């Protein structure tokens, strides 16, 4: 039993993946930022199509893009988000294993993988956070139930 075997046998669909904000392609960066703040999300998926059931993923826009392409680039706020997003992001299916997801993130140096099922439905964002949560739940004795402040020691003995 080790990390790799654990993660190989766990499907992405069984992890707690993160949520995301969503805007239609062509939305100005300014409005995209407002959407992300309102939803408290660090990832925004940029989609084509109106019907919720039939949207098409065209790009991903994250806090990293805000940092590198928006915040100190004059005029970007009024440009469409399409100019700052990553086109055709790498995605992962719900039946892929957590180990596959980690490998993909590592190889492509990304930390957000949109989870998309066979019909193109957007299910969430696979991040490292999902793996942390898994490890905490998988090893509650070691990880979850730790003394809050490991440096605090009782000053006197006491019963009850």
Partner 1 sequence: MSTVATEEIKLTRKDFVSDQTVRWCPGCGDYSILAQMQRILPETGVAKEKTVFISGIGCASRFPYYMNTYGIHSIHGRAPALATGLAIANPDLTVWVITGDGDGLSIGGNHLLHAIRRNVNLNIVLFNNRIYGLTKGQYSPTSRPGTVTKSSPMGSTEQPLNPIAVALAAEATFVARSIDSHPQHLAATLERTAEHQGASFLEIYQNCVIFNPNEWTDLSDRRNRDDSILYLEHGKHMIFGKDRDKGIRLNGFTPEVVSLDEVDLDEILVHDATSRPLASILGSMEFPDYPAAMGVIRDVRKPDYTGELMAQVETAQAQRGKGDLNQLYLAADLWTVEEREETEAREITPSSSDFDEMPITGLDEEYIDEMETPAEVLSDFQDLLVTSTLAALEPNVPITMGMRSSLARTIRQMNRHNIGCVLVTDEEDRLVGIFTEWDVLNRVAGLVDDLAQQRISDYMTRDPMSLKDDLPIAHALNLMSLHGFRHLPLVDDNGQPTGIISFRDVVGYLNEALEEE
Of residues 44 and 47, the one with the C-beta less far from partner 1: 44
Contact flag: residue 75 with partner 1 (CB under 8 A): no
- Catalogue the long-range contacts made by 6-10 (C-beta closer than 8 Å, 24 or more residues apart): 6/134, 6/138, 7/97, 7/98, 7/99, 7/102, 7/131, 7/134, 8/97, 8/98, 8/99, 9/97, 10/97, 10/98, 10/99, 10/134
Of residues 50 and 78, the one with the C-beta less far from partner 1: 78
What residues between 128 and 157 interact with partner 1 by CB under 8 A? 128-129, 131-155
Which of 54, 67, 108, 117 binds partner 1 (CB under 8 A)? It is 67
Residue reference for tokens 């707690």: 16
Residues 95-134: x where in contact with partner 1 by CB under 8 A, - otherwise, as a string: -------x--------x----------------xx-xxxx
CA-nearest of 8, 9, 86 to 44 is 86
Residues at the site binding partner 1, with contacts judged by CB under 8 A? 1-4, 6, 9-10, 14, 16, 29-30, 33, 36-37, 42, 63-64, 66-68, 70-72, 77, 102, 111, 128-129, 131-155, 158, 160
């Amino acid at each position: 039993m080790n990390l790799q075997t654990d993660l190989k046998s766990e499907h992405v669909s069984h992890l707690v993946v993160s949520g995301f904000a969503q805007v239609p392609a062509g939305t100005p960066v300014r409005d995209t930022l407002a959407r992300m703040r309102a939803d408290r999300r660090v990832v925004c998926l940029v989609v084509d199509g109106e019907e919720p059931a039939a949207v098409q993923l065209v790009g991903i826009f994250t806090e990293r893009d805000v940092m590198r392409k928006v915040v100190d680039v004059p005029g970007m706020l009024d440009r469409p988000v399409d100019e700052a997003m990553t086109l055709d992001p790498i995605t992962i299916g719900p039946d892929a294993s957590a180990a596959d997801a980690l490998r993909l993130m590592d190889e492509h140096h990304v930390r957000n993988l949109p989870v998309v099922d066979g019909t193109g439905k957007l299910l969430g964002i696979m991040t490292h956070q999902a793996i942390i949560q898994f490890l905490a739940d998988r090893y509650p004795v070691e990880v979850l139930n730790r003394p809050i402040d490991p440096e605090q020691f009782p000053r006197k003995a006491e019963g009850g």
